[in-house]
A and B are shown apart, each in its own frame.
Chain A
Amino acid sequence: MGAVVALDSLFNGGRVWKGRPAAPPASVHPTGLAALDAVLPSGGWPEAALSEILMSKDGVGELQLVLPTLARLSTLGERIVLVAPPYTPYPHAWQNAGVDVRKLCIIQAEERDALWAVEQCLRSGSCGAVLCWPRKADDRALRRLQVAAETGQTLAFAWRSLSEAVNASPAALRLAVEARPAQVRVLKCRGGLAHPAPIALAGH
């Protein structure tokens, strides 16, 4: 008899295609945007993996995608680490979004050290989510982050420019945020076909 494999893990891993469409499994990390959850194969952010959010410019709703998740994690007592954020988080707005700002931790670092710091935080397994804004990260650097996120069982989010969309990336999920009209497009998601139609973003 071969190794016993739990059916759940096969199905949830997205490796087995099921003829009858079933309700998407409840993810441990829903995005908070029901329309987006519905098209993602895991029903939310991929667990213990790197998710990439590509945007053309700042201020197009790229942060709103993760704020519900951060709010949920911070109320669970998980620590949220922001490595070299481009701007200062405004506590008033984050608090109103439900994030416990006491759980936020900001690491100031240069570009070169920032990737190192992200990897350390991901690998340590003591953070709930690690947020980073790599500017000059190449394929190999992102691969390292992805492996580190797997090792430490931690959610990783990376915000990058939309121009990176043409380059391949090892991230488990790639989303592109567009401003006009305000919508999110799934570029890549592990374990399923990327949903072709864009999803509207409320509030923008």
Chain B
Amino acid sequence: MRWVCIVFPQLALDGAQRVHPEPDQPLALLAGTPQRRVLQTVNAAARALGLRPGQSLTAAHALAKSFACVEYDPLEIERLQQLLAAWAYRFSSQVSLYYPRALLFEIESSLGLFGPWPQFEARLRKELAELGFRHRIVAAPNPAAARVLANLYDGLAVADDNALMQALALLPIDRAGLESQAATALSRMGLRTLAQVQALPRHTLARRFDASLLKHLDALSGQRPLALEFYQPPDQFNARIELNFDVQSHQALLFPLRRLTGDLSAFLCGRDSGVQRFDLHLEHAQAPDSVIKVGLLSAEREPLMLFELARGRLEQVQVTSPVRGLRLVAEDLPVFVPQRQDLFDDRPQQTLPWEQLRERLRARLGDDAVQGLRFHADHRPECAWQAATDSRPCPNLSKVRRPGWLLNEPTLLSEQGVRILMGPERIETGWWDGADVRRDYYLIQTRAGQQGWAYRNVGNSDGLWLQGWFA
């Protein structure tokens, strides 16, 4: 049991359905020349309407009106395969797209981490269901056998070579992955199962058939290794969802956005990296794309969080012209470092780490909304603070009395009823940078009992300026 094969029986249809918020609507994929459009695939709801693959589009329209059509795009299938390979790369370093519409990967070396096989299989199924792909999973000792058994079984796990021979023996000829010409010839000879073919003497098979037949039989039994080309994940993520209609509101963009961020997260998990910056392109029909930049303070890859952040940015943007497509591009993929969490933290279960909270606040309130505070060594009160976080602890400061609150702008104070409690304290500095101050500071008390910090400009009788409150 070294290889897993996951077959996607309806890859093109799943690819089209997963970007639709309502997958149960009748849907047909179209192919063929512009003169004669033919239904390539239909989903269950469309089948219930009487639509069948191979029908012409005009015939389909005669049968039913209310079904959606999506272009069948071989390139799109290739992209989906790449995405699935990126997803599977998380579980194994040997991922291959050798067979079309199927994933092959080696699991023997990953079982120690992911688990006994039933648990691992359940996880694979769960994640594939979340990504929106129907699938059949088979595990077998060699890749060719896994692929062939996946034609017939779902959830089969063949442990060793003896069990494999028994499982293969029962395979019907036409499902054994043979070339169609050879399969037809064999069945015309009266052979029904693979066991009967394997029982034939090798030299007679070699004389009657191409060499590929024996090669295939040997690959199935594991005597001849299959030369597989392994998948290498790309260094950037670039995915696009085309909308089949003009979208003017944010609401309709949320579902495709959730898919894109989910795919991004699956990709990042496969590479074991995070994302710190990514761009959302809203594609318009007749105008250049509007680009929404999403920036984070640390690398993240949680799908829900990525979605929520992208959503926060998206909702602030005015969509001016109709959107036809949505593209997500992430080029900078730094290494993901998981947050350190305290084992004995007595906080409640649903606690949200500060980093995520900060991103959520920044997404809604703006990039500069969340600030730190630090002391700056300057005697002028307006220069004595900076909106940034210090890495080193603050040095011990002089124990002079300073107000807890500092006004943004000094305001002129009417001197009626103001009592001076302490002062003056002369602050005279700043001659080097042009913002020269010469002030006498007083601790004052107003008639209402408020304590404030006010100053008089030296040599300038323009009154008492309030600059802070001793709150």
Most buried by A among B347, B446, B470: B470
B448–A108 contact, CB under 8 A? no
Residues of chain A contacted by B361 (CB below 8 angstroms):
107, 117, 120-121
Asked if B201 is an interface residue, CB under 8 A from chain A, the answer is: no
A92–B449 contact, CB under 8 A? no
B449–A87 contact, CB under 8 A? no
Residues of chain A contacted by B400 (CB below 8 angstroms):
92
Contact stretch, chosen from A124-132, A136-144, A184-192? A124-132
Contact stretch, chosen from B26-34, B145-153, B289-297, B366-374? B366-374
1/0 per residue, CB under 8 A from B, across A55-67: the answer is 0111111111001
A56 to B348, CA, bound (A): 36
List which B375-393 residues lie within 8 A (CB) of chain A: 375-376, 381, 384-385, 387, 389-391, 393
Residues of chain A contacted by B356 (CB below 8 angstroms):
124
Residues of chain A contacted by B370 (CB below 8 angstroms):
105-107
Asked if B270 is an interface residue, CB under 8 A from chain A, the answer is: no
Asked if A31 is an interface residue, CB under 8 A from chain B, the answer is: no
A124–B352 contact, CB under 8 A? yes
Residues of chain A contacted by B452 (CB below 8 angstroms):
59
B360–A101 contact, CB under 8 A? no
Chain B interface residue count, CB cutoff 8 Å, equals: 52
B373–A91 contact, CB under 8 A? yes
Asked if A160 is an interface residue, CB under 8 A from chain B, the answer is: no
Q: How many A-B residue pairs have CB under 8 A?
A: 166
**Mostly helix, strand, loop or mixed at chain B's interface?**
loop
Contact of B372 among A97, A102, A125 (CB under 8 A): A102
Contact of A105 among B350, B364, B371 (CB under 8 A): B371
Size band of the interface chain A makes with B: 35 or more
By beta carbon, the residue of chain B nearest A63 is B471
A179 to B397, CA, bound (A): 29
Residues of chain B contacted by A57 (CB below 8 angstroms):
448-450
Asked if A152 is an interface residue, CB under 8 A from chain B, the answer is: yes
Asked if A194 is an interface residue, CB under 8 A from chain B, the answer is: no
B371–A95 contact, CB under 8 A? no
B469–A59 contact, CB under 8 A? yes
A127 to B356, CA, bound (A): 12
A126–B354 contact, CB under 8 A? yes
**Nearest Cβ distance between residue A154 and chain B, in whole angstroms?**
9
Q: List 14 A-B contacts (CB under 8 A).
A: A58-B469, A87-B468, A88-B406, A90-B405, A91-B373, A93-B403, A95-B394, A95-B397, A105-B371, A106-B371, A108-B368, A113-B364, A126-B357, A204-B449
Please list the residues of chain B having a beta carbon within 8 angstroms of any beta carbon in chain A. Answer: 347-348, 350-354, 356-357, 360-361, 364-365, 368-376, 381, 384-385, 387, 389-391, 393-394, 397, 399-408, 446, 448-452, 468-471
